[in-house]
Amino acid sequence: MFTGCHSYFVIPKADYTKISTMEDIKIVYTNGREFIVEKNDSTNVQIAGDSLVISEGTQKKIILMDDVGKLKENRFDLGGTITLSLVGLTIVVVLFFSMFPFKT
């Protein structure tokens, strides 16, 4: 709750080689379906040739890059955090002042 907002940002193709060091990854297929890989100690994501290989423990999933529309990385979103903070503060102020109406 206090970690702020997180959003998925598109990973440029030039950064696909760094995919194993990135946080949670969203795979958007060409047909519009989405698949989220939550990274932990036993999860590994890498590109091998024309395939995306996701391994967790002894399980392995291979996805052809032709089926992948884009890859997105989960990152902290400062703009979203500031916006939600301002909206929340505004609601608190409005509720506070509505309890004590101005007398004219």
pLDDT tens column, 63-78: 999 999 999 998 887 8
Per-residue pLDDT at 1: 47
Residue 3's pLDDT is 65
Inside any domain, residue 88: no
Decide if 97 is inside a domain. no
Question: Does any domain span residue 67?
Answer: yes
Q: What is the pLDDT of residue 26?
A: 92
* Residues in the chain with pLDDT values less than 50: 1
Report yes or no on 32 lying in a domain.
Answer: yes
Q: Has residue 29 been placed in a domain?
A: yes
First to last CA, the chain: 40
**Quick one: pLDDT at residue 7?**
84
- C-alpha angle 93/96/97, rounded to 5°? 85
User: Considering its fold, how many domains does the chain have in total?
Assistant: 1
- The mean pLDDT value of the chain amounts to 87
